[in-house]
Amino acid sequence: MTLQAWIERTPVGMRKAFMHAMNLYPPFVGAGIRIAAVAPDMSAFDVELRQLPWTRNFVGTHFGGSIYAMCDPFFMVALATQLGPEYLVWDKTAEIRFLRPGRGTLRARFAVTPEQVAQIRADVAAGGKCEPTFDSDVIGPSGEVIASVHKRLWVKRKAPRPTTSQTEPSHVQPTA
């Protein structure tokens, strides 16, 4: 089962189970990434990146790939959860600007507001699809911005599934 399929079946009360499962996701564990908090409706995620001996770069600061990995899935997961199973949500582009060296535990918040969700629904209804953008900052232990992330997603309504009567040829007679 895909992550999105699991999310679509996950009741709000299971957000902690989702958080714990993601915290056991091997790429996150290896990179020192941890989900610290999840909003009750999964519209926001607080994520931390701990500095580990094996995740330091050549000069002893956070490896840039780990910083990006902590930012990768959360806008897509938050938006897919808010829109529901009748929508397709994909990451389209991502940009990260490293502003200063990261040391210690870094933090970031990824949130999709109800106003953004309403606008996306309206844009998809009007144009069939849309490409909303989201921004977040990665914050260092002293409150300084370490990196800025800009994500563009792709959103479209799923095509309705044909009913059984639509898929059966009209000339076929049911058998007894």
Q: What is the pLDDT of residues 52-96, one digit of tens each?
A: 998 899 999 999 999 999 999 999 999 999 999 999 999 999 999
Does pLDDT of 6 surpass 80? no
**120 within domain boundaries:** yes
CA 166 to chain centre: 35
Does pLDDT of 14 surpass 90? no
Higher-pLDDT residue of 153, 19:
153
The whole-number pLDDT of residue 153 equals 98
**175 within domain boundaries:** no
First to last CA, the chain: 36
pTM, to two decimals: 0.81
**128 within domain boundaries:** yes
Query: How far is residue 6 from each of residues 35, 40, 52, measured CA to CA in Å?
Result: 18, 16, 30
The whole-number pLDDT of residue 145 equals 98
At 13, the pLDDT band (50, 70, 90 cuts) reads low
CA proximity to 126, closest of 83, 157, 95, 154: 157
**104 within domain boundaries:** yes
**176 within domain boundaries:** no
Name the 3-class secondary structure at 15.
helix
Number of structural domains found in the chain = 1
**168 within domain boundaries:** no
**13 within domain boundaries:** yes
Backbone angles phi, psi at 124, to 5 degrees: -65, -40
Does residue 86 contact residue 157 with C-beta atoms inside 8 Å? Answer: yes
- Domain with residue 9: its CATH number is 3.10.129.10
Backbone angles phi, psi at 20, to 5 degrees: -65, -40
Q: Which pair of structure tokens corresponds to residue 63?
A: 């490896």
Q: What percent of the chain has pLDDT over 70?
A: 82
Range of the domain at 129: 3-159
